[in-house]
Amino acid sequence: MSRTSKTVTAVLLAAALAALAVPVGLNLAPGFLADIRGGAATTSVPAAQQEPTALATLGGISALSQDAPLPSKEALATALDAALATDKGDFTAVVQDAATGQELYSRNGTAARIPASNLKLLTSLAALKTLGAGTTLPTTVLAGPTPSSLVLRGAGDSLLTAGPSDPAAVVGRAGLATLAQQTAAALAAAGTTGPVTLAVDDTLFTGPALNPKWLEGDVDAGEIAPIYPMALYGGRPDPAGAPALRPQDSALSVGAAFADALSAAGVQVAPGVSRGTAGDGARTVAEVRSATVGEQVEYLLQQSDNYVAEVMGRLVALAAHEPGSAEGATSAVRSTVASMGVNTDGMVLTDCSGLAEGNWVSAQQLAQAVALMAADPDEDLRAGLRGLPIAGLSGTLGERYRDAATLAGAGLVRAKTGTLNEDLSLSGYVVDADGRLLVFSFVGNSFKDGSAAAKPAVDAAATILAGCGCTGS
């Protein structure tokens, strides 16, 4: 890293340390905004924008006040209209005050647009609501129909790894080597000595593993792969595997890796891995459990992981008593967010990651999803806020907000990105210079010169919000 890059990173880190304290206040009620509604301001500069004196931990916004002035709608409109003005595409946008829900700015904000990966906000919201942030997902070895047979059953952990379980990791909280060691010990205790046969049970999900709305080119490029209820490394061949080499049958790939782990643990395994079920009441031989749903949601939002998002969507469907299929997932996500207060008029979902053709979501709906994560008294929802990348520092925003026009937003803007060839989106929140928590969504479509050329506009718009002392005075 060059000296310049190190200096920029240090500046961004200093700006972000206080921002890291923003996402959750687990002891606040009702929800994230409790102190905003009832506290008194202790400083003219919001805590989230002060220079930090120590590394922050995730906590509430205790220094914000209901007395902080709201931005002037007119001043916001002037600044944001200028930032989003372009003849190269079509921007829609919404900005609202998180504490009151008041809409402060709308640029055709109710119009349905292609949301790109911002659709993951809806999937994450539905997953946290229906599954619970603290839920973990088991991967289980069951006794098969014969004494020397085993069945490996998946329950939705797509972040398995081949090595030992790592209690500090999200990818690899459950490891096949640990599962194999448990299995070997159980087989030895039972006196099983002969070759064991291994089958995988991937019947949790139904319907086509590949969503027909995904473009063949995106599948070939490794943007997504067939969805199964167990997978290694988010449906990748290894942690650093080339996207185009994604396994086309993740369940059997997990089975093959588990067979290797069993062999390494001293179990004689018969050649070949088949598909099969253990039957009702089968004895559990061994089990490992995933990272929590909340941790997986944070991961999928930070990394914009399509595979994990699609798995979460199917788990939402099952929790909502719908089929664990692509269609069941989109139906369940839409109905769940509607039940939570998101206005779903005009919303069309064809997948749960935002990669498919035919998705239509408005900026207002995306802003409502972020606002629910911030204001709802359900603490589980706040995991979604922790997953939002930090401008200039983490996830899919790690390399943005590093130029003169947007540096003022670095460390302060937290938002989910979305990028397709001609479409992009950015939805999240920021504490403005007056101490007001603002929720925003910017969605741009039809950029004929490509979406990359439009990123500076949405980043500049969010930076305007971060620096806004837009009281109109």
* Neighbour tally for 456: CB within 10 Å: 15
List the structure tokens of 190: 């039972």
| Residue 165 bears catalytic tag | no
Q: For residues 209 and 231, give the distance between their C-alpha atoms in angstroms, rounded to a whole number.
A: 13
Tokens 């089975």: give the residue. 255
Instruction: Give 265's contacts (C-beta < 8 A, 6+ positions apart).
Output: 177, 180, 181, 183, 184
Say if residues 144 and 255 touch (Cβ distance below 8 Å): no
Q: For residues 375 and 382, give the distance between their C-alpha atoms in angstroms, rounded to a whole number.
A: 9
SS3 341: coil
List the structure tokens of 436: 């007001």
Give whole-number Cα distances, 202 to 147, 205, 232, in Å.
21, 7, 14
> How wide is the angle at C-alpha 410 spanned by C-alphas 427 and 29, nearest 5°?
55
Q: Which of 65, 120, 158, 331 is catalytic?
A: 120
| Residue 72 bears catalytic tag | no
Say if residues 351 and 330 touch (Cβ distance below 8 Å): yes
Q: Which of 106, 117, 353, 362 is catalytic?
A: 117
Q: Which of 304, 362, 441, 451 is catalytic?
A: 304
Picking from 183, 165, 174, 144, the residue whose alpha carbon sits closest to that of residue 273 is: 144
| Residue 304 bears catalytic tag | yes
Positions annotated as catalytic residues are: 117, 120, 304
